[in-house]
Amino acid sequence: MTDISATQPSRPSRSGGRAARRAARAAPLTDDMRAIRPGMNGGRYKPLSDVDVLKIHDAALQLLEEVGLADAPQSGIDILTKAGAELGADGRLRFPRALVEDMLAIAAKQVTLHGRDPAHDLDLSGNRVHFGTAGAAVHMVDVHGREYRDSTVQDLFDATRISDQLDNIHFVQRPMVCRDITNNLELDLNTIYACCAGTYKHVGTSFVEPGFVPDCIEMLHMIAGGEAKWRARPFVSNSNCFVVPPMKFATEACEVMEACIKAGMPVLLLSAGMAGATAPSTIAGAITQAVAECLAGIVYVNAIVPGHPAIVGTWPFGLDLRSGAMSVGSGEQALLTAGCAQMHHFYGLPGGAAAGASDAKMPNMQAGWEQMCSNVMAGLSGLNMVYEAAGMHASLLGFCHESLIMGDDLIGQALRCVRGIEVDDETLAVDQIKDVCLNGPGHYLGTAQTLARMQSDYVYPRLGDRTSPKEWAETGKPGLIDAAIAHKEAILAQPSRAQFDSALDQALRARFNIHLPI
């Protein structure tokens, strides 16, 4: 360890130490020096034992072999039976174990989701964790009037612009529906436009009908600079609810998925059963059904294009069984998500699930505990993609810009938990303890080691208030929501840094009916 006794005064002044800390905090950090970053390794938390995992795996294979899935489109029946699935007289496709195992063997294990800027590429291998938005909220939370209103394309664009500026939001899946656009093709096109014009990060979206995919792909080719560039780095993925739990294919969504795969677009195979309603009420049963449904999706995808990038989207949600209402902010939801992550790791497949959403109608204490509980557990479980991690309220019905901003702080603390505790000669700090106690001032404020590690070891909230009551009162008693509003307004006062150049924007507007004003 470095001997600091010759370079540090024996009793550094308090003001000097504070000035040094402020200077260190203000200095820009390289990525390798940051306390947290995208793709940190989780996986320390395992709610399932090894025996439990094998039981769920075996039960999922039994369901696929004995129950199968109904309602596949004719194209899907042709694809899957050719691969080895069996079509029963009841119209259900059943999947022999050998078929599932063969497709798991060729399924993509190393998947990178690209951003328009390579700096935002997401490596989904292993236990790497990424947090982002998602959902299909139909309302916006108005924190000023404490009310809800319909969400618009401007709201989506603003949410994407805000997400682009938040370090701990690593990707942007469309978090809301543009309810001011009634034409469904224009809805899909404007969703892509608003998201891609708002962020360089990876974007996820969905399509209403399979016939809309070609126009949307044409738009993406234009944004990418041609089909070859798009296929080399597809920066938008298809979030596809290809199943209708329990154990049925969503016919049109499957046709959308087929079109997206052929166009080179990564897919999220999304199974969103509700425990107690469209999935078993037990946590193990809900996970088992979601795993079975998504394994059917893995077979489907790889029967079309072996090794095509696909994310196992086990998204079982909880219910409050007293009322039948969704309870996405519950402890049970956190366990569902963490258990699903463990199953993804068992298969060695990239996976995503939902965490960080709240049942609270406003960003308040209930929202805080609900959002943190599932986000921390998802991160600790090593979930590759944590969807709906910020901004989502009212059991997925409402989205809040201010909550998105506060969620960035919350996820920062969750990521620090994911990072864990490093134990080595330097962090044990035996030499430092000896020097401070025997030769120094008896405290660690202002020491070289403290200053050197204050940014690499600690996460500091952007908005969270750590002042004393006296300082808080002297600064006008600011509130957290007020700070989030101010930060939102500062971001939205600036043009999007991901906006298209004028020639591309003119070409897009000439080809498609873009609803956002210039």
Q: What is the pLDDT of residues 176-214, one digit of tens each?
A: 999 999 999 999 999 999 999 999 999 999 999 999 999
Q: Return the pLDDT at 326.
A: 86
Whether 241 is in a domain gets the answer yes
* CA distance linking residue 264 with residue 221, whole number of Å: 11
Q: Does 518 map to a domain?
A: no
pLDDT of residue 441: 87
Relative orientation angle of helices 213-224 and 502-511, to the nearest 10 degrees: 160
Residue 28 has a pLDDT of 59
Contacts of 338 (CB under 8 A, 6+ apart): 45, 47, 377, 378, 380, 381, 383
Residue 482 lies in a domain: no
In a domain, 295, yes or no: yes
- The β-bridge partners of 185 are none
Q: Which two tokens stand for residue 318?
A: 């909880």
Check the CA dihedral 185-188-192-195 and report its sign: positive
The residue range of the domain holding 213 is 104-419
pTM exceeding the 0.85 threshold for the entire prediction: yes
pLDDT for position 19: 61
Residue 279: the pLDDT is 97
b/e for 79-112, b at 16 or more Cβ within 10 A?
bbeebebeeeeeebbbbeeebbeebbeebbeebb
Helix, strand, coil distribution of the chain in percent, nearest 5:
45, 15, 40
Q: Does some domain include residue 466?
A: no
Tell me which H or E stretch contains 133.
strand 128-133
Q: Which residues 6+ apart lie within 8 Å of 59 measured at CB? A: 288, 292
pLDDT recorded at residue 13 = 41
Q: What angle do CA 344, 188, 237 make, to 5 degrees?
A: 25
For residue 390, what is the domain's CATH number?
Answer: 3.20.20.480
The confidence score (pLDDT) of residue 24 equals: 54
Predicted local distance difference test score (pLDDT) of residue 21: 54
Between CA 388 and CA 397 the distance in angstroms is 12
Task: Give the pLDDT score at 325.
Answer: 85
C-alpha–C-alpha distance, residues 74 and 68, integer Å:
16
Burial call 37-49: b when 16+ CB within 10 Å, e when fewer:
ebbbebbebbbbe
Pair 197, 157: CB distance under 8 Å: yes
- Summarised one tens digit per residue, pLDDT across range 391-405 is 999 999 999 999 999
Count of domains forming the chain: 1
- What residues of the chain score a pLDDT lower than 70? 1-29, 32
Q: What is the CA radius of gyration of the chain?
A: 25
What count of residues does the chain have?
518
Select from 184, 167, 162, 236 the least CA-distant residue to 205.
236
Angle (CA) 116 121 122, round 5° = 140
- d(C-alpha 342, C-alpha 407), whole Å: 24
The token pair at 204 is 């996820």
- Within 8 A by CB and 6+ apart from 62, the residues are none
Domain membership of residue 296 (yes or no) is yes
- What string of DSSP letters covers 171-226? EEE--B--TT--SHHHHHHHHHHHHHHH-SSEEEE--SSGGGHHHHHHHHHHHHTS
163 within domain boundaries: yes
d(CA 60, CA 294): 10
204 φ/ψ angles, rounded to the nearest 5 degrees = -115, 140
Whether 165 maps to a domain, the answer reads yes
Check residue 442 and give left, alpha or beta (phi > 0: left; psi -120 to 50: alpha). left
d(Cα 80, Cα 57) in Å, to the nearest integer? 21
pLDDT on residue 455:
87
| CA–CA gap between residue 284 and residue 502 (Å, rounded) | 52
Give backbone dihedrals phi and psi of 173, rounded to 5 degrees, phi first: -90, 135
